[in-house]
């Protein structure tokens, strides 16, 4: 686990997509429009992308539509669920007059640099403007081959598409910056993986699909002008405030580092494991992207790995902060020629920027942990008590989500009410010892039970997309055309801080026979 400085902070990344939770509407200015859905990224030089459209599919059917997101993007639900809309979501009809593209990128995969990756199974079909006036890219994942497919079929199977849909929307509902899922369709065609599986296409939406690997692609080829053009594009699109800074590229680096530190802290605070944090899977926009063999923790375990391809645990739960820093260092390297004319000065500047990462991560992480245990002040004492809880949870194989949600119900003067939480620990007495200390702290802060419980329930979700439930939803849909488990799972994970008593089984940890040991990318 990454350890370093401490502190407390509740700043937000400038312009980030943090605050807008599912279902909450904010006061908005009338949206700018982009009626032809033209793609701004296509205005960059031709090396940035290939002009390629989706390959038509035989018999598209809508599996799921995200009606809230559709309306935020200015689409009517009727249109998207009608024959024309479904054809568009399947890649059989264009979106407006936009000319679709696949983008070029490189990336470090498990530490090894690969010069040419790029969108091998994702095609951007358009760009639109959401209700907040933010430009958003619309991409079909599984839309057929592109010049970047390198032998792959460019398609996706229904399982991984469903996983990305559910997990990305769950992350959004948890308040974590992420790409969004607008829709999923089946294609009527089969894709060959371990066996033949129904093909599907995910429509995903992002503040931009620029990755660390996109910068690396041009840096590795010595194309500094292209790196500059890309940096300018990202600044205009995502960090417009930095254009006035004395060194805009350093300010860009600072912002990307800050957002990534905040993002990874938030992952840890809900028990999320990305699973493949290759540099091509890290967005420059500060959003969680490329949901592959990702998963949420059941039992708390910093060394936990689900991904079937992560043999060495490079992307284990507790490794993520450190890997984030490693990836950002690769990003900083691509910016060196822009940071200063003299290399030594550029390197110093990059190091200074990267040096801020750890403190920023720890501020967010410790602040979040303090909130999770109901303490107002993220003091050193709060940090110590949170760490001691986590250590005890790890030793006692306590369920991460249930423990914090359980704590959110406890009362200061009523240790007899701790029954359910202490039962989550192999040795319940270990919890009692910790809870005495915790109650002392709470007593000193003096918040009343109901205020604290309310705040804690708003930060500790009751529901996460548990791996066994995701698997059940996939199996039911793919094998039996039964959408009910998916619907139930979506209901609870789209409002994860509410109790949903009628679906309380979705909050439970898996029974021994239900535990999912591994997750797969399914590419």
Contacting residues toward Mg ion, per CB under 5 A: 281, 290
Could you tell me which stretch among 119-127, 374-382, 390-398, 483-491 binds ligand AMP (CB under 6 A)? 119-127
- DSSP assigned state of 424: T
- Residue 166 or residue 462: which is nearer to ligand AMP going by CB? 166
* 118 contact choice in ligand AMP, Mg ion, none (CB below 5 to 8 Å, kind-dependent): ligand AMP
* Contact between 117 and ligand AMP per CB under 6 A: yes
How far apart are CB 234 and Mg ion at their closest, in Å?
18
Out of 60, 118, 208, 496, the residue judged to bind ligand AMP by CB under 6 A: 118
Cβ closer to Mg ion: 128 or 281? 281
Alpha carbon distance 374, 452 (integer Å): 6
Of 198, 292, 406, 485, the one binding ligand AMP (CB under 6 A) is 292
* Segment contacting ligand AMP by CB under 6 A, of 145-153, 165-173, 390-398, 426-434: 145-153
Which of residues 281, 283, 401, 519 is near ligand AMP by CB under 6 A?
281
Asked if 149 is part of the footprint of ligand AMP (rule: CB under 6 A), the reply reads yes
Pick the closer one to ligand AMP by CB: 6 or 149.
149
Does the annotation mark 232 as catalytic? no
Interface with ligand AMP by CB under 6 A: which range of 112-120, 365-373, 468-476, 489-497?
Answer: 112-120
Stretch that binds ligand AMP, among 274-282, 315-323, 351-359, 461-469 (CB under 6 A): 274-282
Catalytic residue among 72, 137, 280, 418: 280
Number of helices and strands in the chain (H, E): 16, 12
216: contact with ligand AMP by CB under 6 A: no
Residue 165 C-alpha from the chain's centroid? 11
Partner whose binding site includes residue 153, from ligand AMP, Mg ion, none (CB under 5 to 8 Å by kind)? ligand AMP
Give yes or no for residue 298 binding ligand AMP (CB under 6 A). no
Largest CA distance in the chain: 68
In sequence order, the 6+-apart residues with CB closer than 8 A to the CB of 413 are none
φ/ψ (deg, to 5) at 45:
-55, 160
**Strand segments (E) across 95-254:** 101-103, 107-109, 112-114, 122-129, 135-141, 156-157, 180-192, 196-206
Q: How far is the CB of 211 from Mg ion (least distance, A)?
A: 8
Which residue's CB is nearer to ligand AMP, number 18 or number 520?
520
Return the closest-CA partner of residue 15 out of 248, 247, 207, 267: 207
Q: The dihedral of CA 500, 460, 11, 297: what is its sign?
A: negative
Partnered with residue 204 across adjacent β-strands are: 139, 181
Q: What is the DSSP string of 213-228?
A: HHHHHHHHTT-HHHHH
Measured from the CB atom, is 119 or 169 closer to ligand AMP?
119
Which of ligand AMP, Mg ion, none does 120 bind, CB closer than 5 to 8 A by kind? Answer: ligand AMP
In terms of CB distance, is 169 or 290 closer to Mg ion? 290
* Residue 218 and residue 230 in contact, taking contact as beta carbons nearer than 8 Å: yes
Complex with ligand AMP: residue 118 or 286, whichever CB lies closer: 118
Smallest separation (angstroms) from ligand AMP to the CB of 281: 5
Q: How far apart are CA 48 and CA 104, in angstroms?
A: 6
Member of 108, 136, 155, 422 binding ligand AMP (CB under 6 A): 155
* Nearest CA among 435, 487, 438, 493 for reference residue 461: 493
Among 56, 74, 94, 153, binds ligand AMP (CB under 6 A): 153
Residue 482 CB partners (closer than 8 Å, separation 6+): 476
**Pairwise CA distance, residues 422 & 419, whole Å:** 5
* Residue number, 281 or 396, with CB nearest to Mg ion: 281
Q: Which of 211, 12, 187 is nearest to 90 (CA)?
A: 187
Pairing of strands 156-157, 49-51: unpaired
Taking the complex as a whole, the smallest distance from the CB of residue 68 to Mg ion amounts, in Å, to: 26
Could you tell me the two tokens for 469? 């439930």
- Residue with tokens 């004492």, as numbered in its chain: 381
Least Å distance, CB 319 to ligand AMP, is 18
Identify the residue among 119, 258, 287, 298 touching ligand AMP (CB under 6 A).
119
Q: Considering the complex, what minimum distance in angstroms separates the CB of residue 75 from ligand AMP?
A: 26
Q: Does 274 bind ligand AMP (CB under 6 A)?
A: no
Burial class (CB in 10 A: 0-12, 13-18, 19+), 97: exposed
> Judged by CB under 6 A, which of 120, 131, 147, 415 binds ligand AMP?
120
Which residues have C-beta within 8 Å of that of residue 358, sequence separation ≥ 6? 2, 4, 5, 261, 321, 325
Non-local CB neighbours of 206 within 8 Å, separated by 6+ positions: 136, 137, 139, 179, 180, 283, 285, 287, 289
Q: How far is the CB of 159 from ligand AMP (least distance, A)?
A: 13
**Which range, of 24-32, 146-154, 386-394, 458-466, touches ligand AMP by CB under 6 A?**
146-154
Which CB, 143 or 205, lies closer to ligand AMP?
Answer: 143
Q: Binding residues for ligand AMP, per CB under 6 A?
A: 117-121, 148-149, 152-155, 276, 280-281, 290, 292, 521, 523
* Residues that are catalytic: 280
């Amino acid at each position: 686990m990454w350890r370093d400085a401490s502190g407390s902070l509740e700043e937000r990344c400038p312009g980030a997509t943090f605050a807008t939770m599912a279902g909450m509407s904010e006061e908005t200015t009338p949206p700018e429009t982009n009626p032809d859905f033209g793609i701004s990224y296509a205005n960059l030089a031709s090396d940035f992308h290939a002009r390629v459209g989706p390959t038509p599919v035989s018999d598209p059917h809508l599996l799921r539509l995200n009606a809230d997101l559709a309306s935020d993007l200015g689409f009517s639900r009727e249109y998207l669920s009608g024959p024309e809309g479904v054809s568009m979501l399947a890649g059989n009809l264009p979106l407006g007059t936009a000319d679709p593209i696949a983008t070029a990128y490189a990336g470090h995969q498990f530490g090894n640099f690969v010069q040419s990756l790029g969108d091998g199974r994702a095609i951007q079909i358009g760009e639109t403007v959401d209700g907040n006036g933010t430009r958003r890219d619309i991409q079909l994942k599984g839309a057929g081959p592109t010049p970047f497919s390198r032998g792959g079929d460019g398609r996706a199977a229904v399982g991984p598409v469903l996983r990305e849909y559910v997990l990305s929307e769950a992350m959004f509902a948890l308040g974590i910056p992420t790409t969004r899922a607008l829709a999923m369709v089946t294609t009527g065609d089969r894709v060959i993986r371990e066996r033949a599986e129904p093909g599907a296409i995910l429509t995903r939406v992002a503040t931009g699909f620029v990755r660390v690997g996109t910068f690396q692609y041009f840096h590795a080829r010595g194309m500094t002008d292209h790196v500059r053009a890309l940096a300018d594009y990202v600044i205009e699109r995502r960090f417009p405030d930095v254009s006035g800074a004395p060194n805009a590229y350093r300010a860009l680096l600072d912002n990307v580092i800050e957002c990534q530190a905040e993002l990874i802290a938030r992952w840890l605070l809900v028990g999320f494991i990305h699973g493949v944090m290759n540099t091509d899977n890290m967005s420059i926009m500060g959003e969680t992207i490329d949901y592959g063999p990702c998963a949420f923790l059941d039992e708390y375990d910093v060394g936990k790995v689900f991904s079937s391809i992560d043999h060495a645990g490079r992307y284990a739960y507790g490794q993520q902060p450190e890997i984030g820093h490693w990836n950002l260092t690769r990003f900083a390297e691509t910016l060196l020629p822009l940071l200063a004319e003299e290399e030594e000065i550029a390197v110093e500047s990059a190091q200074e920027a990267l040096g801020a990462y750890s403190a920023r991560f720890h501020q967010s992480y410790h602040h979040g942990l303090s909130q999770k245990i109901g303490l107002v002040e993220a003091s050193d004492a709060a940090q110590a008590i949170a760490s001691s809880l986590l250590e005890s949870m790890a030793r006692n194989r306590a369920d991460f989500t249930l423990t914090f949600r359980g704590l959110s119900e406890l009362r200061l003067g009523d240790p007899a009410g701790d029954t359910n939480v202490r039962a989550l620990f192999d040795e319940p007495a270990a919890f009692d010892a910790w809870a005495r200390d915790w109650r002392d702290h709470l007593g000193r802060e003096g918040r009343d039970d109901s205020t604290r419980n309310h705040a804690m329930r708003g930060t500790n979700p009751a529901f996460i997309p548990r791996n066994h439930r995701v698997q059940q939803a996939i199996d039911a849909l793919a094998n039996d055309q039964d959408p009910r488990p998916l619907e139930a799972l979506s209901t609870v994970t789209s409002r994860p801080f509410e109790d949903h008593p009628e679906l309380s089984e979705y909050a439970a940890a898996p029974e021994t026979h239900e535990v999912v040991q591994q997750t797969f990318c399914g590419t």
